[in-house]
Amino acid sequence: MSELMVALVQASEKAANIARSCRQDETLFSLLIEEKKSDKNKKFSADFKTLADVLVQEVIKHDIGKRFPGLENNIFGEETNEFMNGLGERIQVMLCERDADTARLLSKVLDGNMQAAEALASAAHQDVIIPDLQTGSVHIPIHNLGVWVDPIDSTLQYIKGISNSVPEGSIYSRGLQCVTVLIGAYDLQTGEPLMGVINQPFAEMDDSKRWQGRFFWGISAGPLSVNSLSSTPLTRGDSTHPLPTPNPVADPSLGVRGSKLSTVLSTREVKRVKALFQDCCEGGVYYASGAGYKALCVILGLVDVYVFTEDSTYKWDSCGPHALLRSMGGGMADLKDCLRHSPAGGAEERPELQYNTPIAEASGTEKWANRDGLVAYRSKADLEAVLQLLTTVEL
Protein backbone atom coordinates (compact mmCIF):
# COMPACT_ATOMS: atom_id res chain seq x y z
CA MET A 1 0.00 0.00 0.00
CA SER A 2 1.26 3.47 -0.79
CA GLU A 3 1.77 5.31 2.48
CA LEU A 4 2.00 8.60 0.61
CA MET A 5 -1.34 8.08 -1.13
CA VAL A 6 -2.89 7.41 2.27
CA ALA A 7 -1.32 10.58 3.67
CA LEU A 8 -2.61 12.67 0.76
CA VAL A 9 -6.12 11.29 1.13
CA GLN A 10 -6.01 11.82 4.89
CA ALA A 11 -4.87 15.42 4.41
CA SER A 12 -7.69 16.00 1.93
CA GLU A 13 -10.23 14.62 4.39
CA LYS A 14 -8.98 16.93 7.10
CA ALA A 15 -9.17 19.81 4.66
CA ALA A 16 -12.73 18.80 3.82
CA ASN A 17 -13.59 18.72 7.55
CA ILE A 18 -12.30 22.26 7.96
CA ALA A 19 -14.24 23.41 4.90
CA ARG A 20 -17.41 21.81 6.30
CA SER A 21 -16.79 23.23 9.79
CA CYS A 22 -16.65 26.74 8.42
CA ARG A 23 -20.11 26.24 6.96
CA GLN A 24 -21.66 24.22 9.77
CA ASP A 25 -20.22 25.79 12.90
CA GLU A 26 -22.40 28.76 13.74
CA THR A 27 -19.58 31.04 14.87
CA LEU A 28 -17.46 30.34 11.80
CA PHE A 29 -20.37 30.47 9.43
CA SER A 30 -21.32 33.94 10.57
CA LEU A 31 -17.81 35.10 9.67
CA LEU A 32 -17.94 33.40 6.32
CA ILE A 33 -21.19 34.99 5.21
CA GLU A 34 -20.51 38.44 6.60
CA GLU A 35 -19.23 39.51 3.20
CA LYS A 36 -22.70 39.10 1.76
CA LYS A 37 -24.42 41.27 4.33
CA SER A 38 -22.63 44.58 4.31
CA ASP A 39 -19.57 46.42 3.16
CA LYS A 40 -18.67 47.40 6.71
CA ASN A 41 -16.87 44.17 7.53
CA LYS A 42 -15.89 43.39 4.00
CA LYS A 43 -12.16 43.31 4.52
CA PHE A 44 -12.44 41.17 7.62
CA SER A 45 -14.68 38.54 6.08
CA ALA A 46 -12.73 38.41 2.84
CA ASP A 47 -9.78 37.70 5.09
CA PHE A 48 -11.65 34.94 6.83
CA LYS A 49 -12.25 33.21 3.52
CA THR A 50 -8.53 33.43 2.78
CA LEU A 51 -7.78 32.23 6.29
CA ALA A 52 -9.74 29.02 5.67
CA ASP A 53 -7.72 28.54 2.46
CA VAL A 54 -4.39 29.25 4.15
CA LEU A 55 -5.15 27.10 7.18
CA VAL A 56 -6.14 24.14 5.02
CA GLN A 57 -2.95 24.48 3.01
CA GLU A 58 -0.83 24.65 6.20
CA VAL A 59 -2.60 21.62 7.67
CA ILE A 60 -1.83 19.64 4.54
CA LYS A 61 1.83 20.73 4.67
CA HIS A 62 2.10 19.98 8.36
CA ASP A 63 0.51 16.54 8.20
CA ILE A 64 2.41 15.38 5.13
CA GLY A 65 5.69 16.80 6.44
CA LYS A 66 5.22 14.93 9.69
CA ARG A 67 4.86 11.60 7.88
CA PHE A 68 7.47 12.34 5.20
CA PRO A 69 10.06 14.74 6.60
CA GLY A 70 11.43 17.06 3.93
CA LEU A 71 8.48 16.71 1.57
CA GLU A 72 6.79 19.76 3.14
CA ASN A 73 9.43 21.91 1.44
CA ASN A 74 8.16 20.76 -1.94
CA ILE A 75 4.47 21.39 -1.30
CA PHE A 76 3.19 24.32 -3.31
CA GLY A 77 -0.06 26.21 -3.70
CA GLU A 78 -1.54 29.58 -4.40
CA GLU A 79 -1.52 30.93 -0.87
CA THR A 80 1.36 32.13 1.26
CA ASN A 81 0.92 31.65 4.98
CA GLU A 82 1.54 35.28 5.87
CA PHE A 83 -1.50 37.09 7.06
CA MET A 84 -2.36 40.67 7.97
CA ASN A 85 -4.96 41.21 10.68
CA GLY A 86 -7.22 44.20 11.35
CA LEU A 87 -4.45 45.83 13.43
CA GLY A 88 -1.98 45.61 10.57
CA GLU A 89 0.09 42.89 12.27
CA ARG A 90 1.79 40.32 10.07
CA ILE A 91 1.14 36.79 11.27
CA GLN A 92 2.46 33.49 9.93
CA VAL A 93 -0.44 31.04 10.00
CA MET A 94 0.66 27.51 10.82
CA LEU A 95 -0.43 24.42 12.65
CA CYS A 96 1.15 24.25 16.12
CA GLU A 97 1.73 20.99 17.98
CA ARG A 98 -1.09 21.62 20.48
CA ASP A 99 -4.51 22.83 19.44
CA ALA A 100 -4.61 25.46 22.19
CA ASP A 101 -1.52 27.05 20.61
CA THR A 102 -3.04 26.92 17.14
CA ALA A 103 -6.20 28.55 18.52
CA ARG A 104 -4.14 31.33 20.13
CA LEU A 105 -2.33 31.98 16.86
CA LEU A 106 -5.56 31.99 14.85
CA SER A 107 -7.23 34.35 17.30
CA LYS A 108 -4.60 36.97 16.41
CA VAL A 109 -5.70 36.75 12.78
CA LEU A 110 -9.36 36.76 13.80
CA ASP A 111 -8.93 39.99 15.79
CA GLY A 112 -9.35 38.22 19.11
CA ASN A 113 -12.40 36.11 18.25
CA MET A 114 -11.37 33.17 20.46
CA GLN A 115 -14.54 31.19 19.90
CA ALA A 116 -14.02 31.10 16.15
CA ALA A 117 -10.30 30.42 16.59
CA GLU A 118 -11.01 27.44 18.84
CA ALA A 119 -13.58 25.99 16.45
CA LEU A 120 -11.14 26.25 13.55
CA ALA A 121 -8.21 24.87 15.54
CA SER A 122 -10.27 21.94 16.72
CA ALA A 123 -11.15 20.98 13.12
CA ALA A 124 -7.50 21.38 12.11
CA HIS A 125 -6.30 19.07 14.90
CA GLN A 126 -8.96 16.42 14.63
CA ASP A 127 -7.60 13.01 13.66
CA VAL A 128 -8.96 11.57 10.47
CA ILE A 129 -9.29 7.86 9.93
CA ILE A 130 -9.73 6.52 6.43
CA PRO A 131 -10.40 2.97 5.27
CA ASP A 132 -7.66 0.86 3.67
CA LEU A 133 -7.18 2.27 0.18
CA GLN A 134 -5.93 -0.96 -1.37
CA THR A 135 -3.50 0.78 -3.64
CA GLY A 136 -1.39 -2.33 -4.05
CA SER A 137 2.34 -2.02 -3.52
CA VAL A 138 3.72 1.26 -4.84
CA HIS A 139 7.29 2.50 -4.52
CA ILE A 140 7.82 6.08 -5.55
CA PRO A 141 10.95 7.80 -4.19
CA ILE A 142 9.77 10.68 -2.01
CA HIS A 143 12.81 12.89 -2.60
CA ASN A 144 11.84 13.31 -6.25
CA LEU A 145 8.29 14.50 -5.60
CA GLY A 146 6.61 17.86 -5.58
CA VAL A 147 3.01 18.44 -4.46
CA TRP A 148 0.47 20.97 -5.74
CA VAL A 149 -2.39 21.84 -3.40
CA ASP A 150 -5.62 23.71 -4.03
CA PRO A 151 -7.12 23.89 -0.54
CA ILE A 152 -10.58 25.06 -1.67
CA ASP A 153 -11.18 25.07 -5.41
CA SER A 154 -14.16 27.18 -6.50
CA THR A 155 -13.95 29.55 -3.54
CA LEU A 156 -16.75 31.64 -4.98
CA GLN A 157 -19.21 28.74 -4.78
CA TYR A 158 -17.91 28.01 -1.28
CA ILE A 159 -18.70 31.53 -0.12
CA LYS A 160 -22.04 31.68 -1.92
CA GLY A 161 -22.86 28.33 -0.34
CA ILE A 162 -25.88 27.41 -2.46
CA SER A 163 -27.13 24.13 -1.04
CA ASN A 164 -30.26 23.54 -3.14
CA SER A 165 -28.71 23.66 -6.57
CA VAL A 166 -30.46 21.33 -9.03
CA PRO A 167 -28.22 19.22 -11.28
CA GLU A 168 -28.66 18.92 -15.01
CA GLY A 169 -27.76 15.43 -16.20
CA SER A 170 -26.18 14.82 -12.75
CA ILE A 171 -23.92 17.87 -13.25
CA TYR A 172 -24.13 20.83 -10.90
CA SER A 173 -23.54 24.10 -12.71
CA ARG A 174 -23.15 25.85 -9.36
CA GLY A 175 -23.52 25.21 -5.65
CA LEU A 176 -21.45 23.66 -2.90
CA GLN A 177 -21.13 20.43 -4.91
CA CYS A 178 -18.68 22.29 -7.18
CA VAL A 179 -16.23 22.86 -4.30
CA THR A 180 -13.25 20.49 -4.22
CA VAL A 181 -9.99 19.99 -2.35
CA LEU A 182 -7.25 19.09 -4.84
CA ILE A 183 -3.90 17.50 -4.08
CA GLY A 184 -1.51 16.21 -6.73
CA ALA A 185 2.00 14.77 -6.47
CA TYR A 186 4.30 15.06 -9.47
CA ASP A 187 7.80 14.07 -10.53
CA LEU A 188 10.12 17.05 -9.93
CA GLN A 189 12.37 15.97 -12.83
CA THR A 190 9.87 15.13 -15.56
CA GLY A 191 6.92 17.24 -14.39
CA GLU A 192 4.55 14.29 -14.78
CA PRO A 193 1.62 13.97 -12.38
CA LEU A 194 1.83 10.71 -10.43
CA MET A 195 -0.76 10.72 -7.66
CA GLY A 196 -3.93 12.68 -7.21
CA VAL A 197 -6.84 13.21 -4.84
CA ILE A 198 -10.09 15.01 -5.50
CA ASN A 199 -12.10 15.49 -2.34
CA GLN A 200 -15.65 16.80 -2.64
CA PRO A 201 -16.58 18.02 0.88
CA PHE A 202 -20.20 18.79 -0.04
CA ALA A 203 -21.20 15.86 -2.21
CA GLU A 204 -24.63 15.32 -0.70
CA MET A 205 -26.76 16.30 2.25
CA ASP A 206 -27.90 13.59 4.64
CA ASP A 207 -31.32 13.34 6.30
CA SER A 208 -30.19 15.48 9.23
CA LYS A 209 -29.16 18.24 6.79
CA ARG A 210 -25.45 17.69 7.31
CA TRP A 211 -23.13 17.57 4.34
CA GLN A 212 -21.39 14.34 3.47
CA GLY A 213 -18.26 14.29 1.36
CA ARG A 214 -16.52 11.78 -0.81
CA PHE A 215 -13.05 11.42 -2.26
CA PHE A 216 -11.38 9.85 -5.26
CA TRP A 217 -7.72 8.99 -5.69
CA GLY A 218 -5.51 7.67 -8.45
CA ILE A 219 -1.90 6.65 -9.01
CA SER A 220 -0.19 6.53 -12.36
CA ALA A 221 3.50 5.78 -12.00
CA GLY A 222 5.43 3.86 -14.65
CA PRO A 223 3.54 0.68 -15.45
CA LEU A 224 1.29 1.02 -12.42
CA SER A 225 -2.17 2.51 -12.76
CA VAL A 226 -4.65 2.16 -9.95
CA ASN A 227 -7.51 4.28 -8.71
CA SER A 228 -10.42 4.30 -6.33
CA LEU A 229 -13.04 4.21 -9.07
CA SER A 230 -12.46 0.59 -9.85
CA SER A 231 -12.04 -0.54 -6.24
CA THR A 232 -14.62 1.41 -4.22
CA PRO A 233 -18.20 2.46 -4.78
CA LEU A 234 -18.57 5.93 -6.25
CA THR A 235 -21.02 7.24 -3.70
CA ARG A 236 -21.68 6.68 -0.07
CA GLY A 237 -25.18 5.31 0.10
CA ASP A 238 -26.69 7.80 -2.30
CA SER A 239 -29.57 6.34 -4.23
CA THR A 240 -31.20 9.61 -5.23
CA HIS A 241 -28.57 10.57 -7.83
CA PRO A 242 -27.52 7.36 -9.54
CA LEU A 243 -24.44 7.78 -11.69
CA PRO A 244 -25.06 7.39 -15.39
CA THR A 245 -23.00 4.93 -17.35
CA PRO A 246 -20.20 6.57 -19.33
CA ASN A 247 -20.90 7.40 -22.94
CA PRO A 248 -19.33 5.11 -25.48
CA VAL A 249 -16.01 6.44 -26.73
CA ALA A 250 -16.38 8.75 -29.71
CA ASP A 251 -15.29 7.13 -32.92
CA PRO A 252 -13.13 9.68 -34.79
CA SER A 253 -13.90 7.99 -38.09
CA LEU A 254 -17.49 9.15 -37.72
CA GLY A 255 -16.32 12.74 -37.65
CA VAL A 256 -17.14 15.02 -34.75
CA ARG A 257 -20.55 15.98 -36.02
CA GLY A 258 -21.60 12.37 -36.04
CA SER A 259 -20.22 11.62 -32.59
CA LYS A 260 -22.01 11.54 -29.30
CA LEU A 261 -19.31 13.60 -27.61
CA SER A 262 -20.42 15.35 -24.43
CA THR A 263 -18.51 18.15 -22.79
CA VAL A 264 -18.42 20.35 -19.73
CA LEU A 265 -17.31 23.94 -20.17
CA SER A 266 -16.59 26.90 -17.95
CA THR A 267 -19.17 29.67 -17.91
CA ARG A 268 -16.14 31.90 -18.59
CA GLU A 269 -15.39 30.10 -21.85
CA VAL A 270 -15.27 32.37 -24.92
CA LYS A 271 -18.52 32.72 -26.85
CA ARG A 272 -17.44 31.22 -30.16
CA VAL A 273 -16.11 28.10 -28.43
CA LYS A 274 -19.38 27.72 -26.51
CA ALA A 275 -21.29 28.11 -29.78
CA LEU A 276 -19.10 25.59 -31.56
CA PHE A 277 -19.63 22.93 -28.93
CA GLN A 278 -23.35 23.69 -28.65
CA ASP A 279 -23.51 23.07 -32.38
CA CYS A 280 -21.42 19.94 -32.59
CA CYS A 281 -21.70 17.94 -29.37
CA GLU A 282 -24.65 15.66 -29.72
CA GLY A 283 -23.90 14.17 -26.34
CA GLY A 284 -24.62 17.51 -24.69
CA VAL A 285 -22.84 20.63 -23.44
CA TYR A 286 -22.90 21.34 -19.72
CA TYR A 287 -21.58 24.25 -17.69
CA ALA A 288 -20.10 23.96 -14.22
CA SER A 289 -18.05 25.89 -11.70
CA GLY A 290 -14.65 24.79 -10.49
CA ALA A 291 -11.82 23.27 -12.52
CA GLY A 292 -11.55 20.37 -10.06
CA TYR A 293 -15.27 19.66 -10.24
CA LYS A 294 -15.34 19.80 -14.05
CA ALA A 295 -12.44 17.33 -14.20
CA LEU A 296 -14.33 15.15 -11.71
CA CYS A 297 -17.31 15.10 -14.09
CA VAL A 298 -15.00 13.58 -16.74
CA ILE A 299 -13.50 11.12 -14.24
CA LEU A 300 -16.96 9.95 -13.18
CA GLY A 301 -18.05 9.50 -16.80
CA LEU A 302 -20.76 12.18 -16.56
CA VAL A 303 -19.23 13.79 -19.66
CA ASP A 304 -16.50 12.76 -22.08
CA VAL A 305 -14.34 15.87 -21.93
CA TYR A 306 -13.71 19.12 -20.10
CA VAL A 307 -12.38 21.79 -22.44
CA PHE A 308 -11.03 25.18 -21.43
CA THR A 309 -9.37 27.46 -23.98
CA GLU A 310 -8.49 30.28 -21.56
CA ASP A 311 -5.40 30.73 -19.37
CA SER A 312 -7.03 31.03 -15.95
CA THR A 313 -6.45 27.61 -14.46
CA TYR A 314 -3.25 26.88 -12.55
CA LYS A 315 -1.02 23.92 -11.72
CA TRP A 316 -2.75 23.50 -8.35
CA ASP A 317 -6.11 23.19 -10.15
CA SER A 318 -5.03 20.48 -12.56
CA CYS A 319 -2.27 18.35 -11.01
CA GLY A 320 -4.43 16.10 -8.78
CA PRO A 321 -7.24 15.58 -11.33
CA HIS A 322 -4.64 15.01 -14.07
CA ALA A 323 -3.01 12.16 -12.11
CA LEU A 324 -6.43 10.58 -11.61
CA LEU A 325 -7.26 10.83 -15.32
CA ARG A 326 -3.90 9.27 -16.23
CA SER A 327 -4.61 6.38 -13.88
CA MET A 328 -7.67 5.60 -16.01
CA GLY A 329 -5.87 5.84 -19.34
CA GLY A 330 -6.82 9.45 -20.03
CA GLY A 331 -5.04 12.70 -19.33
CA MET A 332 -5.02 16.48 -19.56
CA ALA A 333 -3.66 17.78 -22.82
CA ASP A 334 -2.00 21.16 -23.26
CA LEU A 335 -4.66 22.48 -25.63
CA LYS A 336 -2.92 25.14 -27.72
CA ASP A 337 0.34 23.19 -27.74
CA CYS A 338 -1.59 20.28 -29.27
CA LEU A 339 -3.10 22.57 -31.89
CA ARG A 340 0.28 24.12 -32.76
CA HIS A 341 1.88 20.74 -33.34
CA SER A 342 -0.96 18.87 -34.92
CA PRO A 343 0.41 15.55 -36.18
CA ALA A 344 -0.83 14.33 -39.55
CA GLY A 345 -2.52 11.12 -38.48
CA GLY A 346 -3.17 12.08 -34.87
CA ALA A 347 -1.28 8.97 -33.79
CA GLU A 348 1.61 10.66 -31.99
CA GLU A 349 1.69 11.38 -28.28
CA ARG A 350 -0.03 14.68 -27.59
CA PRO A 351 1.62 17.20 -25.26
CA GLU A 352 0.22 16.97 -21.74
CA LEU A 353 0.25 19.58 -18.97
CA GLN A 354 3.44 19.52 -16.92
CA TYR A 355 4.03 20.61 -13.38
CA ASN A 356 7.67 21.46 -12.80
CA THR A 357 8.42 24.38 -15.10
CA PRO A 358 7.26 27.95 -14.44
CA ILE A 359 6.54 30.34 -17.32
CA ALA A 360 9.78 32.31 -17.43
CA GLU A 361 8.35 35.61 -18.65
CA ALA A 362 5.39 35.66 -16.23
CA SER A 363 5.41 36.87 -12.66
CA GLY A 364 3.76 35.88 -9.39
CA THR A 365 1.08 33.21 -9.55
CA GLU A 366 0.85 33.66 -13.34
CA LYS A 367 4.10 31.71 -13.58
CA TRP A 368 2.07 28.61 -12.84
CA ALA A 369 -0.89 29.23 -15.14
CA ASN A 370 -1.98 26.58 -17.65
CA ARG A 371 -1.80 29.38 -20.17
CA ASP A 372 -2.51 27.31 -23.27
CA GLY A 373 -5.77 25.93 -21.95
CA LEU A 374 -6.53 22.26 -21.43
CA VAL A 375 -8.57 19.25 -22.47
CA ALA A 376 -9.35 16.70 -19.77
CA TYR A 377 -10.27 13.33 -21.32
CA ARG A 378 -10.64 9.64 -20.55
CA SER A 379 -10.10 8.42 -24.08
CA LYS A 380 -7.57 9.56 -26.69
CA ALA A 381 -10.22 9.32 -29.41
CA ASP A 382 -12.26 11.95 -27.55
CA LEU A 383 -9.19 14.20 -27.31
CA GLU A 384 -8.65 13.89 -31.05
CA ALA A 385 -12.31 14.71 -31.69
CA VAL A 386 -12.01 17.89 -29.60
CA LEU A 387 -8.80 18.97 -31.34
CA GLN A 388 -10.32 18.35 -34.74
CA LEU A 389 -13.28 20.49 -33.77
CA LEU A 390 -11.15 23.33 -32.39
CA THR A 391 -9.10 23.63 -35.58
CA THR A 392 -12.24 25.19 -37.06
CA VAL A 393 -12.23 28.25 -34.75
CA GLU A 394 -9.69 30.92 -34.03
CA LEU A 395 -8.46 30.75 -30.45
State the residues that interact with Mg ion by CB under 5 A. Answer: 150, 153, 317
Q: Is 99 tagged catalytic?
A: no
Whether residue 78 is annotated as binding a ligand: the answer is: yes
Which of residues 190 and 365 has its CB atom nearest to Mg ion in the complex? 365
Q: Which is nearer to Mg ion, 179 or 226 (CB)?
A: 179
From the list 13, 150, 187, 372, the catalytic residue is 150
* 132 classed as catalytic: no
In whole angstroms, what is the distance from residue 307 CA to residue 295 CA?
9
| Residue 152 annotated among the catalytic residues of the structure | yes
> Of the residues 47, 153, 187, 384, which is catalytic?
153
Query: Active site includes 127?
Result: no
Could you tell me the smallest distance in angstroms from the CB atom of residue 154 to Mg ion? Answer: 7
Alpha helix (H) residue ranges in 38-98: 42-67
Nearer to Mg ion, 110 or 176 (CB): 176
- Indicate which residue of 33, 50, 140, 155 is catalytic: 155
- Smallest distance from the beta carbon of 264 to Mg ion, in angstroms? 16
Asked whether the CA dihedral 63, 68, 70, 73 is positive or negative, the reply is negative
Question: Is residue 152 a known part of a binding site?
Answer: yes
User: Dihedral sign, CA of 242, 150, 24, 288?
Assistant: negative
What strands, in cross-sheet order, belong to the sheet with 75-77? 75-77, 145-153, 180-187, 193-205, 211-221, 224-227
Strand runs labelled E in 141-256: 145-153, 180-187, 193-205, 211-221, 224-227
Q: Is 317 annotated as a binding residue?
A: yes
Q: Is 150 annotated as a binding residue?
A: yes
Closer of 35 and 150 to Mg ion (Cβ): 150
Contact (CB, 8 A) for 103 and 114: yes
- Separation in Å, CA 140 to CA 5, 10, 224: 10, 18, 11
Known catalytic membership, residue 111: no
Overall size of the chain counted in residues: 395
Asked about 150 being catalytic, the answer comes back as yes
Exposure on the CB side of residue 318, measured as CA atoms within 13 A: 31
53 is catalytic: yes
Q: Which residues are catalytic?
A: 53, 78, 150, 152-153, 155, 317
| Binding-site sequence positions for Mg(2+) | 78, 150, 152-153, 317
| Binding-site sequence positions | 78, 150, 152-153, 317
